[in-house]
Chains A and B, each alone.
Chain A
């Protein structure tokens, strides 16, 4: 479904070039819930954003549904993006549009006639359990509700893929549960392939079937979580799977 091959991305910063992602490769299959885990600055969000080319890689190829994206002209790329939904850590809803009109937004972008939008919007809101909030503005919603609106908005265009950039990082644990439940339901009922970036192993354990561990721009290890014995080899993977908060008093953290 998604193949990332040898992706590299370098940003120019004031302190010199920053290698956000270096030759990372990834294979996501139809129906996967694929986790990308790592600490801040590991390059996981950058890698995710190369899938719809919000971030254009310096090297490597992005193949989605059998089609090489990096060579597409911008106009064609925009059409492809319609079938790739995306949600964000900070929801990124239009604050001056109500819930209904937020979900309507991608349909307007895709120039869906108004008469056909209504039904689609209503069914998307129903899927995330927010039909009663259609007229509410985002400012009046809780974090979990906002993210569910964002999910409904991402679903409006009937995507095959949903990209999730730290979708639970700014909500409390209980809300995290409700967002993840919504994502799992979408994956099961609609067969949408999901790629999810997170720094919480609990998120991965809760819904992912596969996970790639990233550190300093590289994919260090990959796991199929349906396997019985998962034996992480790299220090960071061991640390993440152990999943305990350790108080680190030295200046530099170690995973030991």
Chain B
């Protein structure tokens, strides 16, 4: 039993690194694009700061459109686009393209929701001091929402650890690919078991780190 694991070990490490690579590429880009996108969604909502109702309808519909694709189908459907961007539809880098496309609107929805939870009274106080919209977003909304944003990043990271394994199904590499090859095709239940334990530890570590950061950022209580 141990021989199975030890012979698969180098590949397991390789697969883990691939998965981390996918996350390291996906999450920061999702945050970088999803944050402004979610902010614009929040600002253009009915009864919010910017009166751009048509723009909101279009943007909102577009975000819903992308969010309605099941991840596996999105991955396959955009293969031509992925080829155009990275030159191939195979491999870890190629797998991050659908991951990013899925993660951006997902994260944007989180941001929209978090900003909705910011106390309107504080925004009003800032307005009474002559703050403009940019100052309100930057100095009020993001400051008050920062722990919520950190929490959202944690949730999205854990979700996409899971999505990255779907990418493995269609030649994306990573821990999902590894688990299928060893655990499923070769019936090496022991290797599958070890893989699952490692994944559980990863998620626990992400969540622990995320919670720690949230606690540090949140001064509301």
Contact = CB atoms under 8 A, between A and B. Distances in A.
Interface of A: 52, 54, 77-82, 84, 86, 88, 90, 92-98, 105-106, 108-110, 137-139, 150, 157, 163
B217 A96 contact: yes
Interface string B107-133: 000000000000101101111111110
A94 B144 contact: yes
18 contacts: A54-B127, A77-B130, A81-B127, A81-B130, A82-B129, A82-B130, A84-B128, A86-B125, A86-B128, A92-B119, A93-B122, A95-B219, A106-B130, A109-B126, A109-B139, A138-B219, A139-B219, A157-B129
A96 B121 CA distance: 14
A17 to B, nearest CB: 17
Contacts of B221: 139
B132 A92 contact: no
Contacts of B220: 95-96, 139
A78 B143 contact: no
A106 B129 contact: yes
B64 interface: no
Nearest to B132: A78
Contacts of A86: 125, 128-129
A123 B162 CA distance: 54
B215 to A, nearest CB: 13
B11 interface: no
Contacts of B217: 96
Contacts of A94: 122, 140, 143-144
